[in-house]
């Protein structure tokens, strides 16, 4: 059957004709597509796409411009290039989604950590004796001076200072226990190294671009916050250790 | 438009043997016009697996480039496309060139050139490969070689064959000048086997001063083989 007759039959919806055409040209079209895509899957798709295009509109072929075979090979090549383009676009899209998923855990970790931090601090504060908890709250939440805390509580200044200092020491002990539970020695060292520079770059960048697991990143961030909390507690404690003389001198 | 659903077509077997039928001139022309030298070379290699180099270049490459020229003349393809096709062809040819062998370095020497003002060299590139396949050492000087310079080049070395090619009939005159200059040199240069060929010479049986007017690469190959030169002949002179 001549090519033009075959195409005329395809135009009339003759399913046998497209099968004959497929048998006649598909292997060579596949070879052409393979040369473009280097992928069996994409090449099969390209050949199917090419035959679908012929099926849908066989009049696209103009016999005045050449014979059917080269036209089919050219069509296969174009469809193969389209398949490569689609695949590349899909890979780009996948990479973007991966990036979003990659970045999302940081937000999740932050949010989880914020929750954990609140929960841990609240737990530690709740475990304090009532008088110490109240003194701490007056000093650090309401911002009262030690003298004001003492006046508000109706207790001597020294007692107020002792309650606040003892409360801080208890919090420190409690948070240190959390830190030792949460971090391995290696993680602790790394987190301190990172914290020492105040560097909050992404963990993967610190490790030469190698992605870290969410667990490791979470541990590092957890250690970071704990260490900040400890430093704060140490600072406040140091302040209390040094302050009595000045405070006594100022108030008395 | 065909609105009825297409029947399910079978998957194509994964292993497809080389098929020279892919190497249709129209397909090769479209590849060259797209600058796809990789696929053009692959198409040529499919044909070379089944046919001789001279046959493939005569029956596939040459008609493909003629088709490029026709499309350009008809205004279907621009000058840029034609130039892209020429560049792609050269790149594709370099991908399918014969492998160098120890013998190819000591083979008889053929000097190929296009005369002054002639820029078309695809034919020379094809001829070079056909001769290399037969063990010739080819020195292809390419486009636009002044006659005096060509003579000086040939005179300065041991040459066994000269081939000159033109791409258009307009260059017939410069071709004459080149042939005349070689023949006027005297001595062994004047006696050298000299082939001419290319567009514009298709209807010509003889060309003054030329040993042969080639109408195909197969003609050129036959003539070169008729010289009965073998690897190492140049060393025995």
Q: What is the ipTM of this complex?
A: 0.84
Say yes or no to pLDDT of A176 above 80. Answer: no
Pull the structure tokens for residue A157.
């200044």
Q: Give the C-alpha separation, A33 to A83, whole Å.
A: 9
Q: According to the model, what pLDDT value does residue A189 have?
A: 39
Q: Cβ separation of A35 and B42 shorter than 8 Å?
A: yes
Confidence at residue A209, expressed as pLDDT on a 0 to 100 scale: 43
Residue B21 contacts A where some CB pair is shorter than 8 Å: yes
For chain B, say whether A25 makes contact (Cβ under 8 Å).
no
Residues of chain B contacting residue A29, judged by C-beta atoms under 8 Å apart: 12
- Nearest CA to B166 out of B209, B112, B227, B225 is that of B112
Bridge partners (DSSP) listed for residue B198: B166
CB atoms within 10 A of CB A68: 18
Q: Where are the beta strands (DSSP E) in A194-242?
A: none
In this predicted structure, the answer to whether residue A101 has a pLDDT above a threshold of 80 is no
CB A19 within 8 A of CB B9: yes
The CA-based angle B212-B217-B220, given to 5 degrees, is 30
Q: Strand B212-214 relative to strand B194-198: parallel, antiparallel, unpaired?
A: parallel
CA distances from B124 to A115, B62, B96, B119, B138 (A): 78, 12, 15, 11, 10
Cβ–Cβ of B7/A15 closer than 8 Å? yes
| B12/B20 Cα distance (integer angstroms) | 18
Question: Closest to B6 (Cβ–Cβ): which among A32, A55, A73?
Answer: A55
Neighbour-count burial of A132, counting CB atoms closer than 10 A to its CB (0-12 exposed, 13-18 middle, 19+ buried): buried
- Of the residues A35, A45, A79, the best mutation for testing chain B's interface (the one with the most B CB atoms within 10 Å of its CB) is A35
Nearest Cα of chain B lies from the Cα of A5 at a distance, in angstroms, of: 16
Q: Chain B residue with minimal CA distance to A22? A: B9
Asked if A46 and A37 count as a contact pair (C-beta separation under 8 A), the reply is yes
Q: Does A11 touch chain B (CB under 8 A)?
A: yes
To the nearest whole Å, the CA of B6 is away from the closest chain A CA by 7
Predicted confidence (pLDDT) at residue A215 exceeds the cutoff of 60: no
Question: Residue B39: closest CA among chain A residues belongs to which residue?
Answer: A35
Residues of B in contact with A66 (CB under 8 A): 26
Q: What is the CA radius of gyration of chain A?
A: 37
Two tokens, residue B225:
């083989």
CB–CB contact A35 B39 (8 Å)? yes
Nearest to B224 by CA among B140, B152, B149, B137: B137
Q: How far is B42 from chain A (nearest CA, A)?
A: 8
**What phi and psi, each to the nearest 5 degrees, are found at residue A38?**
55, 25
The predicted structure's pLDDT at residue B236: 44
Question: What CA–CA distance (Å, rounded) separates A30 from B14?
Answer: 8
Place of tokens 């598909």: A26
Give the pLDDT band of residue A163 (cuts 50, 70, 90). Answer: confident
A65 exposed, middle or buried (CB, 10 Å; 0-12, 13-18, 19+)?
exposed
Q: Flag whether residue B4 sits within 8 Å of chain A, measured between CB atoms.
A: yes
Largest CA distance in chain A: 117
Question: Which of A137-141, A243-247, B110-114 has the least mean pLDDT?
Answer: A243-247
CA distances from A7 to A10, A20, A21, A25, A26 (A): 5, 10, 9, 13, 15
Reply yes or no on whether the pLDDT at A184 is more than 50. Answer: no
Average pLDDT on A54-83 reads 93
Rounded to the nearest angstrom, the gap between the alpha carbon of residue A4 and the centroid of all alpha carbons in its chain is 58
Predicted confidence pLDDT, tens digits, chain B (237 residues):
777 888 888 888 877 777 778 999 999 999 999 999 999 999 999 999 999 999 999 999 999 999 999 999 999 999 999 999 999 999 999 999 999 888 888 889 999 999 999 999 999 999 999 999 999 999 999 999 999 999 999 999 999 999 999 998 899 999 999 999 999 998 899 999 999 999 889 889 999 999 999 999 999 999 999 997 766 555 544
Q: Does A34 touch chain B (CB under 8 A)?
A: yes
**Which pTM value belongs to this model?**
0.66
Return the number of other C-beta atoms located less than 10 Å from residue A180's C-beta: 12
Put simply, whether B2 touches A (Cβ < 8 Å) is yes
pLDDT for the residue B5: 82
Instruction: Give the separation between CA B154 and CA B160, rounded to whole angstroms.
Output: 10
Per-residue pLDDT reduced to its tens digit, A107-130: 666 666 667 777 777 888 888 888
A91 to A34, A76, B106: CA distances (angstroms):
19, 22, 52
CB B131 within 8 A of CB B143: no
């Amino acid at each position: 059957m001549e090519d033009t007759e075959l195409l005329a039959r395809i135009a009339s919806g003759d399913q046998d004709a497209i099968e004959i055409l497929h048998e006649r040209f598909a292997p060579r079209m596949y070879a052409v597509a393979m040369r473009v895509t280097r992928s069996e899957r994409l090449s099969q798709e390209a050949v199917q796409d090419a035959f679908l295009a012929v099926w849908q509109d066989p009049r696209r072929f103009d016999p005045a411009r050449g014979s059917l075979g080269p036209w089919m090979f050219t069509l296969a090549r174009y469809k193969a290039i389209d398949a490569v383009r689609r695949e590349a676009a899909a890979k780009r899209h996948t990479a973007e989604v991966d990036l979003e998923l990659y970045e999302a855990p940081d937000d999740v970790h932050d949010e989880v950590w914020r929750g954990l931090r609140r929960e841990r601090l609240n737990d530690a504060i709740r475990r304090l004796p009532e008088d110490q908890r109240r003194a701490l709250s007056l000093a650090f939440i309401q911002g009262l001076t030690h003298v004001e805390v003492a006046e508000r509580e109706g207790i001597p200044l020294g007692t107020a200072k002792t309650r606040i200092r003892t409360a801080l020491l208890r919090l420190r002990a409690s948070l240190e226990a959390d830190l030792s539970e949460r971090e391995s020695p290696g993680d602790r060292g790394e987190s301190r190294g990172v914290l020492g520079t105040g560097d909050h770059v992404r963990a993967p960048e610190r490790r030469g671009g190698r992605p870290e697991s969410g667990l490791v990143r979470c541990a590092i961030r957890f250690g970071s916050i704990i260490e900040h909390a400890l430093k704060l507690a140490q600072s406040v404690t140091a302040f209390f250790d040094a302050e009595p003389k000045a405070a006594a001198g100022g108030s008395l | 438009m065909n609105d009825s659903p297409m029947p399910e077509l079978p998957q194509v077997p994964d292993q497809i043997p080389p098929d020279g039928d892919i190497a249709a001139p129209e397909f090769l022309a479209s590849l060259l016009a797209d600058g796809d030298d990789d696929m053009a070379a692959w198409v040529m290699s499919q044909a070379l697996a089944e046919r001789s180099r001279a046959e493939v270049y005569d029956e596939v490459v040459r008609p493909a480039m003629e088709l490029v020229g026709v499309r350009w003349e008809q205004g279907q393809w621009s000058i840029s496309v034609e130039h892209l096709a020429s560049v792609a062809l050269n790149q594709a040819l370099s991908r399918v060139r014969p492998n160098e062998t120890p013998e190819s370095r000591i083979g008889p020497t053929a000097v190929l050139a296009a005369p002054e003002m002639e820029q078309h060299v695809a034919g020379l590139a094809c001829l070079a490969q056909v001769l290399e396949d037969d063990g010739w050492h080819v020195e292809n000087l390419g486009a636009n070689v002044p006659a005096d310079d060509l003579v000086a080049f040939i005179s300065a070395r041991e040459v066994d064959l000269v081939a000159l090619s033109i791409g258009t009939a307009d260059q017939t005159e410069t071709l004459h000048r080149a042939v005349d200059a070689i023949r006027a040199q005297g001595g062994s240069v004047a006696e050298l086997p000299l082939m001419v060929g290319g567009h514009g010479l298709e209807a010509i049986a003889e060309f003054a001063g030329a040993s042969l007017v080639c109408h195909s690469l197969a003609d050129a190959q036959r003539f070169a083989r008729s010289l009965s030169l073998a690897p190492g002949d140049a060393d025995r002179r």
